[in-house]
Amino acid sequence: MIEIRNLRKTYYVKGVGKTVANDINLTFPSKKSVGLFGRNGAGKSTLLRMIAGVEDPDSGSIVSDGTISWPVGFAGSFHPQLTGAQNTRFVARVYGLDTDELIAYVEEFANLGVHFHAPFRTYSSGMKSRLAFGVSMGIKFDTYLVDEVTSVGDATFRKRSKALLRDRIGESAAIVVSHSMPMMSEICDAGVVLIDGNAHWFDDVDEAIEAHENAMDGMLPNWATQPPPKKVL
């Protein structure tokens, strides 16, 4: 379970503030796949990074009783001078895994060929995401954070990625960001819609998709246009 308490986050660009988390309170249950919905810039990826601990909120807290992946496909922690294999070995040691087993798994799944043994700094953005996806899927987490990773690579790799993701979600919880509504409907149980820093939980993912698509058409629900209730001290 992941619990988000009174979470606030605002970015400033040339002195102008953009709030992507306006006192958000959410609970993501164990063993459930939840889709995150919102237009570009709504804060979906930011929320994933804060849950993963790679970005700090302005205030509030996030607590969990299980292990959480970094955002699957996020390659920001890999060392640019190390090869894909060396980066994989380093991650295996950090998590106490068999290094040879993880390297073999990632090399086969990411299908980078000779590039797996080339410096990470030479990788294209797609190759970086494929390496990060392979490393993430090679480690057992209680909750996987997934951000548009199944759009990377050719059709064969995307098909394998989706199949593997379904298997992992069947065993663990997941918080998923994707622009593919059919995929979200297929693999997610529930949904959260983000609008102007406000978040609303839907027990049915298809209801979340409908609310998101209505918002994209300019039909905003009441909860998105009203400030959250003030916390009673």
Is the pLDDT at 59 greater than 90? The verdict is yes
In angstroms, rounded to a whole number, what is the distance separating the alpha carbons of residues 121 and 126? 12
pLDDT at 224: 80
Q: What is the three-class DSSP state of 166?
A: helix
Q: What is the three-class DSSP state of 214?
A: helix
Q: Is 90 exposed, middle or buried (0-12, 13-18, 19+ CB in 10 A)?
A: middle
Lowest mean pLDDT among 47-56, 151-160, 205-214: 151-160
In angstroms, rounded to a whole number, what is the distance separating the alpha carbons of residues 132 and 118? 15
- Residues contacting residue 164 through CB under 8 Å, at least 6 positions apart: 109, 137
Give the predicted TM-score (pTM) of the model.
0.83
Locate 172 and state its tokens.
């663990």
pLDDT at 126: 81
In angstroms, rounded to a whole number, what is the distance separating the alpha carbons of residues 26 and 33? 14
Average pLDDT, the chain: 88
Is the pLDDT at 176 greater than 90? The verdict is yes
